[in-house]
């Protein structure tokens, strides 16, 4: 019985690995998401029933739950070198000359050209086909161990099949590659963050770099990281060329960029660099050049390296996409939290295939630092960044009479007073009814990840606010009383108005956590809203709570707790909520799922084996009474329930003085 279950588990794992490969590496799924989910669920179930068969390389074990407090420092077995840069054809010819000078006169010299992906490099160690460690580049000599985070990238195999590849010994290998994020995936992810009031990132590269160093692998798993592998080193046998290595890596199931080129001469290399300079905007990810490598590994060894760069490779760097234009005016845009962002209104200019007429200036500090003035000729750049930015000012072209920019004294939209939060670069408009703020907050309220009101997008919200139908997001629910008037609006018709009203009515069923997110409390993104809702279960409980209580929730810090308290103390917001309540919006988690709320706000950790029920059952019961079960003990834990042969959590609870419960005591509570 056990044996056949083990066989079934093995079979499911290799099936899932194959489908992961098809989906994440080849981008060519062979089964539907539903079918995949079924396989995954089956495996989860079998592993749950047979925990002794759970291994670290199972597809179910990609995302660990433990937080990584400090990353281990790891010294690279072979240093992760950087590349010398070349910027012109002449420099490439020089590189070729140096390579020839360093090698036997009659040797045939070949190159491999690869796209230089703009991300962060990582080194992966596999032992007997299993992923053991993943290490960042660091300073090239020593990096940080980020295995738990890297394991969440689904195109990275946790296990590689060495059976058929035994012509070479690959028991101990190191592969290296570039972790990156595709532009579109990044854009969407950033957009959701912006809507959630979370900090947005400037470009995919920074996001990848920041993500790989997060302490919570669960968060990493939610971000769309990708990888291309470009290097293979075997500690047990000698390999012969870069081209063969790339092919072998592909065979082993690694994700290798297809756009590499084997070149027989430096002229072919130059042609490749030229082609991709023009074609780079067709790629779904950012590249900043081409990496040129001498193909033969024997040649690479002969050439060796100087200082921190190999003599056998170079990077041909593409220039950042820049343009010069006149900055006509600096305007200030008001966001939904009231923050003012300076925007450069530019003389339209063509840059990397699109016409640019605006660029962000981030905040007033930045304008001051770069001393950007109206009328200046500025250099703008579009790197991997979503929005073009102003890089510098052409001081020689500056008008003698130009003046330093001062921040607006009142809100440019509503003329209200402005204020600056301590330690923040942003300037805020204090008027909650400021039309720009109102528009942005209603757009957020109706957005897909909040109340999901289909049809109520940016342009309609702007129109309704301008026409005086909406003053706050709570007014959305009174629109149905104005149906007759709305139908008369040019762009709308009977059908679209009735669809809109229907979508608005439907949104009343949105669960409490989405509602909480939709309110637009600063720093409360969708994740934080979910945590707050799960913990407090109702708005009333949250409003009655204290900052200290709020911060007891795992991952909720002082900026969120302060912001929550500030939000609910505001008379304007209280009125909004009353209106929403009257409209029938959910301000509590569905009560029917709960037997009681006797454990609301209490956090439990379970350790050891319980006699009368499984840990899963115990967890479900605690939740039925509104309690929260988490996996690690901290000073915020209310109770640690201790079963037979408890783990280290018991010791930790004792150390921290957390209340210990026996199984009997727990049963009395549930
Ligand atoms: S080879 C000595 N190949 O560019 C070999 N690097 O400065 C160095 N990169 O740190 C790495 N795509 O982060 C190589 N196809 C590619 C690459 C690549 C991007 C990055 C990598 C490295 C930097 C070189």
pLDDT in tens, 179-195: 999 988 998 888 777 76
In the three-class reduction of DSSP (H, G, I as helix; E, B as strand; rest coil), residue 484 is classed as helix
**pLDDT at 386 > cutoff 70:** no
With residue 618 as reference, give the H or E element that holds it: helix 615-624
> CATH number of the domain at 512-583, please?
1.10.150.20
Task: Return the CATH architecture of domain 435-509.
Answer: Orthogonal Bundle (1.10)
How far is ligand 1, taken at its centre, from the CA of residue 218, in Å? 28
Using only C-alpha atoms, the chain has a radius of gyration, in whole angstroms, of: 29
For residue 592, pLDDT over 60 is answered with no
Nearest CA to ligand 1 atom 13: 121
Integer CA distances (angstroms), 285 to 183, 206, 233, 291, 326, in order: 5, 13, 26, 16, 30
> Which band of pLDDT confidence, cut at 50, 70 and 90, is reported for residue 387?
confident
657 band by pLDDT with thresholds 50, 70 and 90: very high
Q: Which CATH superfamily is domain 75-317 in?
A: DNA ligase/mRNA capping enzyme (3.30.470.30)
Tell me: pLDDT of 329 over 90: yes
pLDDT for the residue numbered 614: 84
Q: What ranges in 393-447 are assigned the alpha helix state H?
A: 435-446
Locate the ligand 1 atom nearest the alpha carbon of residue 83 and give its number.
7
- Band (261; pLDDT cuts 50, 70, 90): very high
Report the alpha-carbon distance of residue 141 to residue 82 in Å, rounded: 11
Q: What is the CATH number of domain 603-669?
A: 3.40.50.10190
Q: What is the mean pLDDT of residues 54-64?
A: 92
pLDDT score of 557: 82
Ligand 1 atom, smallest distance to 119 CA: 13
pLDDT tens-digit series, residues 361-384: 988 988 999 999 999 999 998 866
SS (H, E, C) 28-91: CCCCCHHHHHHHHHHHHHHHHHCHHHCCCCCHHHCCCCCCCCCCCEEECCCCCCCCCEECCHHH
- The beta-strand segments (E) located in 235-376 are 261-263, 287-294, 305-306, 309-310, 313-317, 321-334, 339-351, 354-360
User: 353: CA distance to ligand 1 center in Å?
Assistant: 27
Question: What is the dihedral angle through the alpha carbons of 52, 53, 58, 64, rounded to the nearest 10 degrees?
Answer: 0
* Domain extents in the chain: 2-61, 75-317, 322-427, 435-509, 512-583, 603-669
Neighbours of 175 (CB within 10 A): 24
Pocket test residue of 117, 227, 243, 260 for ligand 1, highest count of atoms within 8 A of CB? 117
What's the gap in Å between 113 CA and the centre of ligand 1? Answer: 11
Assess whether the region 435-509 and the region 512-583 belong to the same CATH fold: yes
Cα of 205 to ligand 1 centre, how many Å? 14
- Lowest-pLDDT choice from 146-160, 354-368, 500-514: 354-368
Whose CA is closest to atom 23 on ligand 1? 82
- Secondary structure of residue 415 in the 3-state scheme: coil
Q: What is the pLDDT of residues 140-157, one digit of tens each?
A: 999 999 999 999 999 999
pLDDT confidence bin for 69, thresholds 50/70/90:
confident
User: Can you tell me the distance from the alpha carbon of 187 to that of 539, in angstroms, rounded to the nearest whole number?
Assistant: 32
Q: State whether residue 482 is helix, strand or coil.
A: helix
For the CA of 137, the nearest atom of ligand 1? 10
> Do the beta carbons of residue 256 and residue 250 sit within 8 Å?
yes
Task: Supply the angle between the helices 558-569 and 571-582 in degrees, to the nearest 10.
Answer: 80
**pLDDT tens figures, 263-314:** 999 999 999 999 999 898 789 999 999 999 999 999 999 999 987 899 999 9
For range 47-71, the mean pLDDT: 89
Mean pLDDT of 156-161: 94
Distance 116 CA to ligand 1 centre (A): 6
**Residue tagged active-site, from 41, 69, 77, 116:** 116
Strand partners of residue 121: 178
- Mean pLDDT value of segment 453-459: 90
According to DSSP, the residues that pair with 539 across neighbouring strands are none
DSSP state of 410: B
319 as an active site residue: the answer is no
Q: Whose CA is nearest to atom 2 of ligand 1?
A: 81
Q: Which of 99, 116, 254 to mutate to test the pocket of ligand 1 (most atoms within 8 A of CB)?
A: 116
Residues with C-beta less than 6 Å from any ligand 1 atom: 81-83, 114, 116-117, 121, 137, 178, 230, 291, 310, 313, 315
**Which residue owns the Cα nearest ligand 1 atom 9?**
116
Q: Which atom of ligand 1 is nearest to the CA of 118?
A: 19
Instruction: Among 174, 178, 307, 312, say which to mutate for ligand 1: greatest number of ligand atoms within 8 Å of CB.
Output: 178
Top-ranked range on mean pLDDT: pick from 132-136, 360-364, 406-410, 458-462? 132-136
Which secondary structure element, helix H or strand E, spans residue 504, and what is its range? helix 494-506
d(Cα 122, Cα 125) in Å, to the nearest integer? 10
Mean pLDDT of 643-657: 90
Between CA 577 and CA 562 the distance in angstroms is: 19
Site to substitute for ligand 1 among 83, 245, 255, most atoms within 8 A of C-beta: 83
Instruction: Using the mean position of ligand 1's atoms as its centre, give its distance from the Cα of residue 208 in Å.
Output: 15
**pLDDT value at residue 197:** 62
The bridge status of strand 172-181 relative to strand 120-127 is antiparallel
What residue's CA is closest to ligand 1, atom 4? 116
Region 398-418: mean pLDDT is 93
Q: 239 φ, ψ to 5°?
A: -105, 165
Distance 401 CA to ligand 1 centre (A): 47
CA distance 25 to 177: 14
pLDDT tens, 3-52? 788 999 999 999 999 999 999 999 899 999 899 999 999 999 999 999 99
Q: What is the DSSP letter of 106?
A: T
Distances (CA, A) of 658 to 44, 385, 633, 650, 669: 32, 47, 9, 9, 17
- The H-or-E segment that residue 534 falls in is helix 526-536
Distance 466 CA to ligand 1 centre (A): 52
Cβ pair 248, 20 in contact under 8 A: no
Give the DSSP letter of residue 662: -
Q: Which of 130-134, 156-160, 502-506, 621-625 has the lowest mean pLDDT?
A: 621-625
Q: Which atom of ligand 1 is nearest to the CA of 257?
A: 15
Cα–Cα distance list, 273 to 32, 269, 401, 611 (Å): 39, 6, 45, 67
| Cα dihedral across residues 394, 395, 399, 401: positive or negative | positive
Does residue 591 register a pLDDT over 70?
no
Fold of 2-61: Helix Hairpins (1.10.287)
Contact indicator for 260, 112 with CB cutoff of 8 Å: yes
**Res 120 pLDDT > 70:** yes
Confidence of residue 163 (pLDDT cuts 50, 70, 90): confident
Which CATH number applies to 322-427: 1.20.1250.20, 2.40.50.140, 2.60.120.260, 3.90.1150.10?
Answer: 2.40.50.140
Q: How far apart are CA 629 and CA 649, in angstroms?
A: 13
- The answer to whether the beta carbons of residues 428 and 414 sit under 8 Å apart is no
* Ligand 1 atom showing the smallest separation from residue 260 Cα: 15
């Amino acid at each position: 019985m056990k044996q056949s279950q083990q066989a079934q588990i093995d079979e499911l794992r290799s099936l899932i690995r194959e489908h992961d490969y098809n989906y994440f590496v080849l981008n060519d799924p062979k089964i539907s998401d539903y079918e995949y989910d079924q396989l995954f669920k089956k495996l989860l179930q079998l592993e749950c029933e047979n925990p002794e068969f759970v291994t670290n390389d199972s597809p179910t074990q990609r995302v660990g739950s433990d937080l990584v407090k400090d990353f281990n420092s790891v010294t690279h077995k072979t240093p992760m070198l950087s590349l010398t840069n070349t910027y012109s054809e002449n420099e490439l010819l020089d590189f070729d000359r140096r390579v020839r000078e360093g090698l036997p006169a009659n040797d045939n010299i070949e190159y491999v050209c690869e796209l230089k992906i703009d991300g962060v490099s990582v080194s992966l160690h596999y032992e007997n086909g299993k992923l053991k460690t993943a290490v960042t580049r660091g300073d090239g000599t020593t990096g940080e161990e980020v295995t738990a985070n890297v394991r969440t990238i689904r195109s990275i195999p946790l296990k590689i099949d060495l059976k058929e590849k035994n012509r070479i010994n690959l028991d101990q290998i190191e592969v290296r590659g570039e972790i990156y994020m595709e532009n579109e995936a990044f854009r969407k992810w950033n957009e959701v963050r912006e809507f959630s009031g979370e900090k947005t990132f400037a470009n995919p590269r920074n996001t990848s770099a920041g993500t790989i160093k997060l302490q919570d692998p669960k968060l990493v798993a939610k971000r769309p990281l990708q990888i291309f592998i470009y290097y293979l080193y075997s500690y047990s046998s000698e390999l012969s060329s870069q081209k063969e290595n790339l092919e072998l890596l592909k065979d082993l199931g690694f994700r290798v960029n297809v756009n590499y080129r084997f070149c027989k001469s430096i002229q072919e290399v130059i042609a490749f660099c030229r082609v991709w300079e023009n074609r780079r905007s067709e790629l779904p990810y950012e590249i900043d050049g081409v990496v040129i490598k001498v193909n033969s590994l024997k040649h690479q060894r002969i050439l060796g390296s100087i200082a921190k760069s190999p003599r056998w490779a170079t990077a041909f760097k593409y220039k950042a996409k820049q343009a010069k234009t006149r900055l006509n005016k600096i305007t200030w845009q008001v966001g939904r939290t009231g923050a003012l962002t300076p925007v450069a209104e530019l003389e339209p200019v063509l840059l990397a295939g699109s016409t640019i007429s605006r660029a962000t200036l981030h905040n007033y500090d930045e304008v001051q630092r770069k001393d950007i003035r109206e009328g200046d000729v500025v250099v703008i750049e579009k790197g991997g960044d979503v929005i073009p930015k102003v890089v510098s000012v052409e001081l020689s072209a500056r008008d003698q009479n130009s003046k330093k920019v001062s921040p607006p004294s009142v809100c440019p939209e509503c003329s209200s007073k402005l204020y600056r939060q301590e330690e923040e670069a942003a300037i805020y408009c204090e008027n909650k009814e400021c039309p720009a703020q109102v528009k942005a907050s209603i757009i957020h309220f109706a957005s897909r990840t909040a109340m999901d009101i289909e049809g109520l997008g940016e342009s309609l919200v702007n129109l309704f606010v301008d026409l005086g139908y909406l003053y706050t997001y709570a007014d959305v629910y009174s629109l149905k009383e104005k149906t007759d008037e709305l139908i008369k609006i040019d762009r709308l018709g009977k059908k679209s108005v009735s669809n809109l009203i229907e979508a608005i009515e439907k949104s009343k069923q949105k669960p409490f956590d989405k509602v909480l997110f939709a309110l637009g409390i600063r720093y409360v993104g969708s994740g934080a809203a979910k945590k707050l809702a799960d913990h407090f279960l109702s708005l009333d409980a949250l409003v009655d709570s204290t900052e200290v209580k709020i911060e007891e929730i795992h991952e909720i810090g002082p900026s969120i707790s302060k912001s929550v308290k500030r939000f609910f103390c505001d008379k304007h917001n209280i009125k909004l909520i009353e209106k929403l309540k009257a409209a029938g919006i959910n301000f509590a988690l569905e009560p029917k799922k709960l037997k009681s709320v006797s454990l609301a706000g209490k956090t439990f950790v379970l350790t050891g084996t319980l006699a009368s029920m499984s840990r899963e059952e115990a967890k479900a019961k605690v939740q039925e009474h509104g309690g929260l079960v988490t996996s690690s003990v901290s000073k915020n834990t209310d109770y640690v329930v201790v079963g037979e042969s408890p783990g280290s959590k018991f010791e930790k609870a004792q150390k921290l003085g957390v209340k210990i419960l026996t199984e009997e005591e727990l049963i009395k509570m549930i």
